[in-house]
Amino acid sequence: MEILGLYNYWVFAILLMIGFYAVIAKRNLVKKLIGLSLFQAAVFLLYITMGKVDGGTAPIFSGTGDAIFSNPLPQVLILTAIVVGISTTALGLGIVVRLKEEYGSIEEHEIQEIDEQ
């Protein structure tokens, strides 16, 4: 039960590592960016998970006073972090487009070879 109870955290760790692996191992720049997005998405999951309270509902005051609420703050934080993540991905893709225009390639090692010539 202990392991199943931590299901979300396992997904967080595995997703984080898949993303990290893609960033490090892939030579294609777009694939690297996909890895980076996964890496960031994993952290979103960490935040959302920790805000969840067992049996908690959305924190909207209903007047009864005895309802259990989930913590809304991590969700608000992640809303901001998602915006940051999108901007980063967009800028990264923009740079990839410029790289393709200048070098004619989006493979890391090919760009490196062109630069070394």
Partner 1 sequence: MNALVDHFPALQVVVPMLMAPLVVLLRPRGLAWAACTMASVLTFAIAIQLVQGVLVGGPTSYLMGSWPAPYGIELKVDAFSALLLLVVTGASVFALVGGRESLDGQIEAGRQPYFYAAWLLALAGLSGIVVAADAFNIFVFMEISSLASYVLIAGGPDRRALPSVFKYLIMGTIGATFYLIGVGLIYMMTGTLNLGDMELRIQAVADQRPILAAAGFITVGLALKAAIFPLHVWLPNSYTYAPHMVTAFLAACATKVSLYILLRFDFFVFQGNLEGHALQFTFYLMPVAILGILVGSAVAMFENNIKRLLAFSSIAQIGYIILGASFVTVAGLTAGIVHIFNHALAKGALFLAVALFATVAGGLRLDDLKGIARRMPWTFGAFVIAALSLIGVPGTAGFVSKWYLITAAMELGTWGLPLVALILVSSLMAVVYIWRIVEAACFGEAPYEPAAPASVPPLLVVTLWLTAAANIYFGLVPELPLTLSGDAAADLLGHLP
- Here's the x/- map for partner 1, 11-30, by CB under 8 A: it reads as ---------x--x-----x-
- The correct pick among 8, 70, 75, 88 for binding partner 1 (CB under 8 A) is 88
- Judged by phi (left if over 0) then psi (alpha if -120 to 50, else beta), residue 105 lies in beta
Q: Give the rounded distance of the alpha carbon of 102 from its chain centre.
A: 29
- The correct pick among 2, 54, 66, 115 for binding partner 1 (CB under 8 A) is 115
Per the CB < 8 A criterion, the answer to whether 72 and 42 are in contact is no
Per the CB < 8 A criterion, the answer to whether 71 and 53 are in contact is yes
Rounded to 5 degrees, φ, ψ at 104 are: 75, 20
The tokens describing 76, both together, are 């608000």
Per the CB < 8 A criterion, the answer to whether 24 and 39 are in contact is no
Is residue 7 near partner 1 by the rule CB under 8 A? no
8-state DSSP, 64: S
Is residue 38 near partner 1 by the rule CB under 8 A? no
In whole angstroms, the minimum distance from the beta carbon of 47 to partner 1 comes to 5
- The correct pick among 58, 87, 104, 113 for binding partner 1 (CB under 8 A) is 87
What residues make contact with partner 1 under the rule CB under 8 A? Answer: 20, 23, 29, 32, 36, 39-40, 43, 46-47, 50, 74, 77, 80-81, 84, 87-88, 91-92, 95-96, 98-99, 102-103, 108, 111-112, 115
